[in-house]
Structure 1
């Protein structure tokens, strides 16, 4: 019975509880015999790096706080079962009242969302560091590991900066990622 057509829907949930609600939905649907009606249940996350007390802290956080994506066939009782899961507020695109059916996502939205999720889960992108032009920093990665340099330019969008490092008494320009340096 896996040939049932499944569509993607977005569920509005309590923010900060997305993974717990995903777990509840999975259990609710499997325990009540709706295993064939559901496909994937996703909580899009992004990996971030923060600096705290000079140390890098790698974290994951919800990319769409308060939302869970589900691939399902919501005909029949599966829709009712999901609505009754603790923490589920409503489906996106749903009209007022519980009689209307939620609107599935369009194919373009699905492919964009899945592609974005792939990008987010592959690399730590957001680095919350504050650097100032003229500040002296230490290189901690790459061929110039251990050298100190002075920041000359900051590119926040690309998460890169240009700095000048003294090598044999000469200023040498370098372009490094935010992850390759640390404050002194």
Structure 2
């Protein structure tokens, strides 16, 4: 295939979980300082900013949307596949099921979903009420009942409230709280 015919596409690198940022750092440096920049456009790790509650304080935390994966927009010609695959902490490309299949490019709809999701996720969101389950033990972290432990009795996603049963003076009492007022035990 001639050089002019090869166009850049998005590919997925499988990385050692927890080392995605290191892979991005190494590849970004290689793009700036070597000829790899002629073939690799950008490296992306989609993350989501999430508010969680720790010790009664709201903490903004970044959560990786696809743990173990790094997205690369590149032209895979010549040594580029070799260079990317042999980057430290990279396991391999995401490939087809056949034994020696080529790296699979993401379809346009997948790229739009990933990039659209990445753009949406720049806005911090609170941990969803829907992530809590009935029967799950929680600890109240904010308000007059801070420090009390209880069990979730009801999750109301429409009102974004959680009903928690705590024992006050030995009697079960229901509290209606927001998800930011509790944390998992």
User: Shorter-chain TM-score category?
Assistant: 0.5 to 0.7
**Structure 1 residue 80: Cα displacement:** 1.0
Find the aligned partners of 1:54 and 1:131 in 2 and give their Cα distance.
Answer: 21
Q: Paired residue for 2:99? A: 96
> Which deviations, in whole Å up to 9, do the C-alpha atoms of 1:120-155 show, x marking residues without a partner?
2212242589799xxx9749xxxxxxxxxxxx9743
Secondary structure of the residue aligned to 2:122 is helix
Secondary structure of the residue aligned to 1:118 is helix
Q: Aligned in 2, Cα 1:43/1:159: closer, same or farther, shift over 3 Å?
A: farther
Q: How does 1:34-73 map to 2 (within 5 A)?
A: 34-73=36-75
Unaligned runs of 5+ in 1: 140-151, 164-175
Q: CA RMSD in A?
A: 3.6
Unaligned runs of 5+ in 2: 135-139, 145-152, 164-176
Q: How does 1:15-164 map to 2 (within 5 A)?
A: 15-94=17-96, 95-97=98-100, 100-126=101-127, 138=143, 154-156=155-157, 160-161=160-161
Q: Aligned in 2, Cα 1:33/1:2: closer, same or farther, shift over 3 Å?
A: farther
TM-score of the superposition, structure 2-length normalised?
A: 0.67
**Structure 1 residue 56: Cα displacement:** 1.2
Count of residue correspondences: 154
TM-score of the superposition, structure 1-length normalised?
A: 0.68
